[in-house]
Every structure is written in C-alpha cells, then in structure tokens.
Amino acid sequence: MKREEKKRITREKIIQTAMNLFAEQGYEETTVHQITEQAGVAKGTFFNYFACKEDIFCDIQIMFAVEEVRIIKDKPGPLIPHFRNLIMSIDHQIRLSRPLVLAVCQGNLKNVNSIQNLVEQIEELKEALTEVAAVGQERGEFIISMPPDMIAELAIQTFLGARLLWSIGRGDEDMSGHMAVTFELFFRSIALHP
C-alpha cells in the first residue's frame, strides 16, 4: 500500500472513531486519548493529522455537508427545500453550543496547517455546491445571471459567516433558527421565482 493511501486510511479511521464517540457520549465528554485508543493509533499520530479535537469536528461537518450536497442534485423536486433540510440537519448531527462552534472557528484559524486544511475542505464543498447550482439553473430554479461557482461561493460565505456570528452570541439562541433566517435571504437571492 502506498504511503498516501495509508495516510488517508489512518485519517479516515480517526475521523470515523471520533464520530462514533461523539455520537455515543457527546463531543465535550470525548477525549483525544479515547479517540486514539479506539482507533488504535498513537497520540502523536493523531496530532500529525489534527491540531486539536475541534479540527475533527470541522472535518466531520464538512464531510457530511459534501456527501449530502452531492446527493441533493439527484433528488426529485425543487432543490431549495433539500438545501433547507441539509442546513437544518448539520447542527443536529452533534448538539451544537456557542462555545463549541466558537472553538471550532478558532481551531480552523489556529495555524497555517489548520487554515490549509479548511481551505481544501471548502474547495471540495464548493465543487459539490457548484454542481448543484448548475443543476438548479438547468432546471430553471436558480437565477442564471450569476455563475454556478459564484452561487456556491456565496452559500459557503453565508454559512461560515452565520456560524461565526452565532458562535459569538449574535442571532437567535437556537442555531437552526439563526441559519433558517440567514439562508432564507440567500435562497430568495438565487431563486428564479422567489
């Protein structure tokens, strides 16, 4: 097995183990030690891939979003309701709190490696969203005055901006409500017939 493939498998194993532990016992109660022990990797190996536990959480959220966005374009019916459901489901994977989301935002900007990891994940998400935006335009649901990649970029900016502001105490107490209001404006701006 090639080195890059082995690294990818190890990284995915750490992420999957963390997801299972977060689901079983909650994010706050899960430790890096528990993750490494159950994944069967050394603590140093964990830190080769992630600067902190928050980095895993960010990876999980973006991986989930990318997988779900790729499915949306093949679903029957209008795309915007599917997007709404996706946005609402992101914070239901793991119970989100303002301190947790703030820690994730801070972790994303902690160092050059964290930022590079976030940039790569955002590019993957943008690619998936661009495909969906193109399908929405082909179906006559989205405006065509804006290129699909610009719609994708604005969706990401809307999400990350809303998440950051919510984490510092702005907006509705409930993140779902905060995202619903924020994205309603976004959807109205891209819908061909608002």
User: Which residue would you say has higher pLDDT here, 156 or 193?
Assistant: 156
**For the residues 65-79, what does the mean pLDDT come to?**
87
Q: What average pLDDT does the chain have?
A: 85
Q: What pLDDT, on a 0 to 100 scale, did the predictor assign at position 92?
A: 62
Q: What is the DSSP letter of 142?
A: B
- 114-118, 120-124, 128-132, 149-153: lowest mean pLDDT where? 114-118
Q: What are the structural domains of the chain?
A: 1-49 (1.10.10.60), 51-190 (1.10.357.10)
Q: For residue 50, how many other CB atoms are within 10 A of its CB? A: 24
Q: Is the pLDDT of residue 96 over 80?
A: no
**For the residues 15-36, what does the mean pLDDT come to?**
84
Give the whole-angstrom CA distance, residue 53 versus residue 47: 10
- Tell me if 39 sits within 8 A of 48, measured CB to CB: no
* 183: exposed, middle or buried (Cβ count in 10 Å: 0-12, 13-18, 19+): buried
- Tell me if 79 sits within 8 A of 135, measured CB to CB: yes
Smallest CA-to-CA distance from 159 within 54, 62, 53 is with 62
